[in-house]
Amino acid sequence: MKILTANDLATGDVVWWAGDGWSRLLAQAVDTASEGDAIGKREEAARHVVSAYVVDAEMTADGPRPAHIKERIRGLGPTVRPDLTLKPEAGDLTAWVI
């Protein structure tokens, strides 16, 4: 699947396209198929987000899992600060990232 990520323009928070708007949770990212770039451009023009880009991912039981480690860390937060990640309930963060 192809998911879309960006940063919220005003706060800089990492966000994912959730179909009807942006979510801070990677788990809510939806497949944007071939629409990702167009949605990204539209949302940037509307000044909701900045730096939108499409990411390859696969659907898993826990939700979408980006193909590259960079976006897995982007989705989760820094692996060295589990107190700041968005998935504190996930037992083994490293296993999810690597």
Partner 1 sequence: MYQYDNYDQAMVDARVAEFRDQVSRRLEGKLTEEQFRPLRLMNGLYLQLHAYMLRVAVPYGTLSGRQMRMLGHIARKYDRGYGHFTTRQNIQYNWIKLSDAPDILADLASVEMHAIQTSGNCIRNISSDQYAGVAADEVADPRPWAELMRQWSSFHPEFSYLPRKFKIAVIASPEDRAAMRLHDIGLELVKRDGVIGARVFVGGGMGRTPMVAPEVNPFVTEDEIIAYVEACLRVYNRYGRRDNKYKARIKILVHELGVEEYRRQVAEEFAHMKALGLNPPREELARIAAYFADPAYEGGLPDALDRSDPDFALWVDRNVATHKQPGYAIVNISLKPIGGIPGDASADQIELMADLAERYSMDELRVTHAQNIVLPYVRKAELYALWQELHAAGLGEPNLDLVTDIIACPGLDYCSLANARSIPVAQKIAQRFAGNGKDAHIGELKLKISGCINACGHHHAGHIGILGVDRKGTENYQLLLGGSGAEDCSLGTITGPGFDENGIVDAVEKATDLYLRERAEGERFLDTYRRLGMAPFKEAIYG
- Whichever of 33 and 80 has its CB closer to partner 1, that residue is 80
Least gap, CB of 70 to partner 1 (angstroms): 6
Instruction: Give the separation between CA 13 and CA 4, rounded to whole angstroms.
Output: 14
- Footprint on this chain of partner 1 (rule: CB under 8 A): 7, 9-14, 44, 47, 50-51, 67-70, 73-74, 77-81, 84, 98
- Whichever of 39 and 67 has its CB closer to partner 1, that residue is 67
Other C-beta atoms within 10 Å of 24: how many?
Answer: 14
Instruction: Give the separation between CA 76 and CA 24, rounded to whole angstroms.
Output: 10
